[in-house]
Every structure is written in C-alpha cells, then in structure tokens.
Amino acid sequence: MRVTSFDVFDTLLTRLVAHPHDIFLELGADLKHQRFISCTALEFATLRTGAEREAGERLSHPDVSLSEIYTVLSERFGWDSQQTIEAMNSETAVERRSVRSNPGAVGRVARARLISDQIVFISDMYLPPEVIHSLLRDLGFFQPGDKLFVSNAVSGSKASGKLYQFIRGELSNPSDWSHFGDNNYSDCVRAGESGIKAELVSDCSLSRYEQVFRPLGVDSLGPLWRSKVAGIMRLARLSGFDLETSHERTIWNTGTQVVGPLLFGFVFWVLREAQSRGLQRLYFIARDGQILQRLARIIAPAAGIEIDCRYLFGSRQAWRLAALGDFDEVARKWILPAADRATLRTAFTRAGLDPNHFVNELERAGFNQRTWNELLDTDEKERLWILFGALKLDEKIRENSVSARHNLCQYLRQEGFFDGTPLGIVDIGWHGNLQQSLRRAVDLQLGANQTKLAGLYFGLVDDFEMPNGDCAAAFWPMQRARDPFKTEKLTLLEVFTAADHGSVIGYENKSTGVVPVLQSEKNDAAIEWGLPALQESILAFAKLMVAEFPLSELPLIEYSEACRQVYRLFISRPERSEALTWGSFPFGNQANEVVRDFLVTDWSEWKNLTALLDHSRRPTAWWLEGTLKRRFSPSLYLFLVARRIREKYRRQTSNVWGQPESKIKIQNERQ
C-alpha cells in the first residue's frame, strides 16, 4: 500500500496573518467588541497563548483541544458554559476567515493522487478535526476516501512521533509512505525516525522581507496590521508557484515582497494627497507612470477615492526641448549638463538634431564617430557647445523647440489638460525638472497661468520652488548630499517602474489627433528580460491588499517606514540570485538614455579598484552590493564597510534618507 501524507497548516493551508498566534489579536478584537473581554486585544492574545500552555500542563501532555484551552480561559474571564462555547466559536470563525490555500500545494496533492493508494492529512493542532476537515474540503484538498488525523483527537503529535505510530496502525502498516511538511523536526526528523520518506516544504515560511513586517517568534505579537501585510506578501509570493525559471521566480518574489509593497504605499499616498489638495484628475507620466496608473486604478476604488487617473505620454526629451526658449544657459544645461554624464549622441538628441548630418564637421572638431556614445569630459562639453554656435545650430534648435512646444500643447489640450479641472502630475522624481519643463513650455506657448500644477513624486532630491503657484510634494523627500541611497538606488527604482514601450521623443499631428512619437513601440529588451512578470507581481500584491486589507486601517507612515526597511535590506544585502537578475536589466536601448550599462559588473579586482578610485571609470549606476554578491572583491568589501560606518554616523542625526527630524515631523503631520 502506497501512502502519501501531508501536513495541513503552512504546507497546504496558509493564513492571511504571518504567524498562527497573530490570529489571537484579531480574535481579541472580536471578543472585546462582543463584550466577552475588557482587556486589550494584545493582552488577550498573550492570555490565549498562555492558556494553551496551561491546559497542556494540567493534562500532562501538549496535544490539547480547543475546548480544553477554553476551559482555562473561561476560568480566567468568568464565562459560563454558553459564553465559553460562543467564544470558542468566535476563534473558529476567525480561523476560517483567515485561512487560504497554498496555490502551489494544490498541484502537489493532485500529483500525489496519481501514484498513491491513500492520501492522508496530518496536523498537530488544537482545532477540532471536523473544522480542519471542512477547511480542507472547502479549499479543494479533501476528497472521499482521504483520511485526516489530528493530534488533539488521538493525544499524540507528530513532534512526539506518537501520531505517526498511531496512523501506521490505522493503515495496517503501509510499506511505502511519503510525507510532506513544513517543520524540519516534526515533519522530517520525526517522520524519518518512523520509517517514513519525508520532504520539507518550506514555501510558506516567512521570507526575510516578510519578517521585516512580522519578525519571527511569539514574543513579536502586534500590531496586527504588520502581520496581515506580511501574510499578504507571502500569499502574493506563493501565487507565482508555476514560474518555470529561477530568473522569473526571482523577479516575481522581488515584485511581491519589495517592489509591490513599496509602490503600493506610494500610490496610496498619491491618491490621499491628491484628495486632500482637492485634485480631481491625475496624469501619470510615461514611462514610470505606467505601472503606477495601473496601481491607482486598483487602489482608488478600494479606498473610496474618486479621482480620474490618466496616462500621459511625456518624457524629459519631449518636454525639455519644448521648454527651450533662447540658445542660452537654460538650453546648455539641458543639452550639455555640467554635473551629469552626457555623450555626443545624447546632446544632439536633446537638441532635436541628428549628428549624422554633421559627420564631417564633427570629425574636424575632433569628435570621431566611434566616440559618439562615450561620455564627454568637461573640456569636450565646452568644445561641443562652441561647435554648436560655430555651426549656427542655435536657430535650428529654436525651430525644433517651437515645433515641439506647439505639438506638446496641442497634445495636452487634447488630453484635457486645460479644461479647468484641478489636476496633478505623478512621477518618480528626482529633481522636479519634468514639472518645471512642462510649466515653462506651456507658459512660452500660451502665456502664464493657464493652469496650476501639483506634482506628486516618489522622491525629490533637493528642495526647489515652483513658479506660478505650482506645488510639488514627495512621498520620501531626500537630500542627495546626506543620502546613503546614491545613484544606483534611484536607478533601481526606475527599473522597478519600467514600461513596456519606448521613451517619448515628441508628438505628431495626424488625422486622428496628436499622437506621441516613441523611440520604439515596444521595450523589447525589458520585455525579454521579464518585465511582464514584474508588473504582474506588483499588481498581484496590490489586488490582494485591496481584497484582504481594509485600507482605512493602514497606517501609512509606519507602513512607509517598513517598506523603506525592506528596500534597504534588498539594496544592502541582496541574495546572489537577486544581484544576477536585477543586475542584468537592459539599459541603453533608447537613444536619449545616459545609463547605458549594467548595475552589476563582473570585473577583475584591478578594474574594481580603478573604478573606486576614479569616478569616471565607474558605470553610470553601479550597484556595489550587488556586484560584491556576484563576485567577491576585497576592494569593494572594504569600500562598503567604510561607507556603512559613515552612514551609521549620519543616521545618528538624521532619519528618512538623510532628512532632518524637524522636516520629517512636518511631512508626517501632512500625511
């Protein structure tokens, strides 16, 4: 007789809370509402845990039943027999509300049925067998002919080995028995001692990111919202069980545990901020805004926020060119920024010009065509700017700017930008240049005060004043000079919000209206890398959050801080699979993108050391921790140790991303 057995909880079934004892927090709230108890939910949860232990001590064995536990509780709270039954039924009801199936376990049980003569379900649990049976049946696991054995019904557990002995006798000593469970000791060690082939199934165990929200250990009880978020993260992660490759699974796991929670918090903040400012329409700017708008359309109805959420095709290239007036310092800062990296090709693209039309002139000036994609130093930028003047390109740039501005404003009008609706734009950040360019372009074309703009951003590196009554607010204000999250961290956030289409390079009038001109219709490289899986994982978390969590009870400030800790963990201590997967994200597929390399390099020690000593030899955005995880480097290791010591000192006098305590207080009060 071939038998396959399964542990029940955290193997086949999981919960919407991270730890089994967190159920007691919700139960405590229910009992307090029913006036069964007068203590707090946290106090009740502690008493409930203690009652289980005390019941085991009274009976001299730990395999107690729910009724035996409630005998102890009834003495503590002075319940009569009817109240005790009702309180016990409340716990059963809370368990039923919380339990969900582990998506990957359904197929595991189905496959076992094909090769087994008997399917058995086993649980070390205080719940009555009939309750566990109904949960398994309702979630599609239990079928006629299956058997269920529960420790409290036979006074023996898996952990003691007695439950396995009892089942062996009930099944007439099966010759071939395989068991699957999540506990290494009771499901594997004890099963093995009983002659059973055991396999550990640990997918329901909390990941390191989920443990940020709910640390392991019973002593970590409370608050309940943290446990629920961790449970939802876990359930979203488990829903990617059928992904075939480790690369896809890493993308999915990061999306459901790091990116999804982070962007969910940002978009929820955006919607609440917009509502408080009286905004009735939000434009989510391409390309970052693609996933953000999709999140907004999930969150807004669940939060009871009525805001028109639209996707607006825009980019630095399309709007900065439209914002150029004269061939002046403003133009120079855009075309050849002094502080930022630039190549000859990006400079011409930003000016709306094609360098291929000036090959001979560029060659004579010392700009060989082979070097057009190489970074320009300060002297080369100066020579190129002088060449722009010598070639009398200023008039051509003005013409390009006027045309771009005209088409932009027509597109904005077509999209309802000037219909008088209070509106805001949503973008990741970082310097507010996009909003400033949009304002400047509109003012140059139509005159000042055509519309007021509110910019809502994930982060703003520097404080700045918006003209004409515009305003800008950030979910996480930052100060680059004191910010431990350098360029590579900002770049990763832009990777997280990548879109499935190319960047916007302008607008074109057609018979059907004004349409955006894209560098490419599809972002093929990112799609091939796994962008669809990333976006689906983010949305999977969001859908579970709005379905399973009352958003009115989500403390956004505390939630935001927990997400920041998760992101810091991902950045500073990546697993090797994460470093390889996210380090392989493709950059440089757009002509006007300056980032044209990878976040994670695979360099020799000498090349690493050279790059650390010379900024110009570094990648545009270099994820040092990811690079170190891919291949150990003594120089990178020592550099990171020194940086962490420096950052620890800085954090003693500052908080969120280098933001002074006084400023955090103001920001939090607004939230």
Its domain, for residue 132, covers 1-205
CATH of the domain at 101: 3.40.50.1000
Q: What is the pLDDT of residues 503-562, one digit of tens each?
A: 998 999 998 899 999 989 999 999 999 999 999 999 999 999 999 999 999 999 999 999
Q: Is the pTM here over 0.85, yes or no?
A: yes
Give 229's contacts (C-beta < 8 A, 6+ positions apart): 213, 214, 261, 545, 549, 559, 562
352: left (phi over 0), alpha (psi -120 to 50) or beta: left
At 395 the pLDDT is: 83
The answer to whether position 94 is within a domain reads yes
At 665 the pLDDT is: 38
Work out how many domains the chain is built from and give that number.
1
Select from 231, 216, 169, 230 the least CA-distant residue to 194: 169
Instruction: Specify whether the CB–CB gap between 189 and 164 falls below 8 A.
Output: no
The answer to whether position 134 is within a domain reads yes
φ, ψ at 284 (rounded to 5°): -90, 115
Angle of helix 531-548 relative to helix 246-254, nearest 10 degrees? 40
At 658 the pLDDT is: 45
Residue 226 burial (C-beta neighbours within 10 Å; 0-12, 13-18, 19+) = buried
The answer to whether position 93 is within a domain reads yes
The answer to whether position 577 is within a domain reads no
The answer to whether position 405 is within a domain reads no
Instruction: Specify whether the CB–CB gap between 311 and 415 falls below 8 A.
Output: no
- Range 655-660, long-range pairs (CB < 8 A, 24+ positions): 656/476, 656/477, 656/561, 656/564, 657/459, 657/476, 657/477, 657/478, 657/479, 657/483, 657/484, 657/485, 657/564, 658/478, 658/479, 658/481, 658/482, 658/483, 658/484, 659/477, 659/478, 659/479
Helix (H, G, I), strand (E, B) or coil at 432: coil
Helix (H) or strand (E) holding 190, with range, is: helix 190-193
The answer to whether position 244 is within a domain reads no
Alpha-carbon gap, residue 389 to 380, rounded angstroms: 14
Q: In this structure, how many other beta carbons lie within 10 angstroms of the beta carbon of residue 355?
A: 17
| Residue 577 in tokens | 């699979």
The answer to whether position 152 is within a domain reads yes
Helix (H, G, I), strand (E, B) or coil at 431: coil
φ, ψ at 510 (rounded to 5°): -130, 175
The answer to whether position 143 is within a domain reads yes
Beta strand residue intervals within 8-136, DSSP E: 13-15, 99-101, 118-123
Consecutive 10-residue averages of pLDDT for the chain (671 residues):
95 95 94 94 93 91 92 95 96 96 94 95 95 96 96 91 93 91 95 94 95 82 91 97 93 98 97 95 95 98 96 92 81 78 85 90 91 86 88 85 93 94 92 86 82 88 69 75 53 90 92 92 94 97 97 94 93 94 76 60 92 83 91 93 82 54 39 41
